[in-house]
Amino acid sequence: MIEGNLFIITAASGAGKTSLVKELLAKDSQVKLSVSHTTRKPRQGEQNGVHYHFVDEVEFLQILNAGGFLESADVHGAKYGTAQSGVDIALQAGNDVILEIDWQGAAQVRNIYPQSISIFILPPSVEALSERLFGRGQDSVEVIAKRLVVAREEMSHVVEFDYVTINDKFDVALQDLLAIIRASRLKTQSQLQRHAALVQKLT
């Protein structure tokens, strides 16, 4: 059975991760996004089951205590978690799966899936990150100031990741992500599984 690749994509809030992942999914139909659970309230335009599984804290803790999360973390006062069952099913079906999670979750996932491929997206500068956060128009000045402090801490973990792309020009960063995914599919083990019949004839 050919199993898919597991990709972890991480970035500080405001670095453009969500927009890049959305465009990546539109460009590559073989990639599936794992939808996380969260206790935070939906933002404008977000749909339950599409962007996140929005749950209350009681339900979240029930899943957590039952061992249902592959990873979980507290971020900006809300809880986030990735259900392991959904990830396993998608990988076993041969799909590549993206986990759009923070660095804490990435560390937890690497312990369970050491073969996972991790990517960190950086902003071109702290000033650009600040402008993007203000440009959302979703948070107060005080909240954004706190997010920037947290972002510096988050970005210090970039050395723990396999790949790094800088989201200065969106199209360039998107091509970086697509290149990483394509290269991962061309690894020898994956190709030998995918083209077993051909390899047997040739060798």
User: What pLDDT does 136 receive?
Assistant: 67
Side-chain half-sphere exposure of 177, counting CA atoms within 13 A: 32
Q: Which structural domain range is residue 193 located in?
A: 6-202
Task: For residue range 125-145, list pLDDT tens digits in order.
Answer: 988 888 877 766 666 778 788
Task: For residue range 73-91, list pLDDT tens digits in order.
Answer: 887 789 999 999 889 999 9
User: What pLDDT does 193 receive?
Assistant: 86
Q: Classify residue 15: in a domain, yes or no.
A: yes
- In whole angstroms, how far apart are CA 54 and each of 38, 64, 80, 116, 139? 5, 15, 10, 26, 20
Q: Classify residue 20: in a domain, yes or no.
A: yes
Distance CA 33, CA 30 (A): 10
Q: Classify residue 42: in a domain, yes or no.
A: yes
User: What pLDDT does 115 receive?
Assistant: 92
Tell me which residue of 75, 77, 92, 76 sits closest to 32, measured CA to CA. Answer: 92
Averaged pLDDT, 11-20: 89
User: What pLDDT does 137 receive?
Assistant: 61
Q: Give yes or no for a contact between 173 and 167, defined as CB atoms under 8 angstroms apart.
A: yes
Q: Give yes or no for a contact between 23 and 129, defined as CB atoms under 8 angstroms apart.
A: no
Which one-letter DSSP state was computed for residue 130? H
Averaged pLDDT, 21-30: 94
pTM score: 0.85
Query: Could you give the number of structural domains in the chain?
Result: 1
Tell me which residue of 141, 84, 75, 135 sits closest to 108, measured CA to CA. Answer: 84
Task: For residue range 31-90, list pLDDT tens digits in order.
Answer: 999 998 999 999 888 889 888 999 999 999 999 999 999 999 887 789 999 999 889 999
CATH assignment at residue 62: 3.40.50.300
User: What pLDDT does 1 receive?
Assistant: 60
Q: Classify residue 144: in a domain, yes or no.
A: yes
Q: Would the CA dihedral through 57, 59, 63, 65 be positive or negative? A: positive
Q: Classify residue 38: in a domain, yes or no.
A: yes
Distance CA 41, CA 54 (A): 7
Q: Classify residue 1: in a domain, yes or no.
A: no
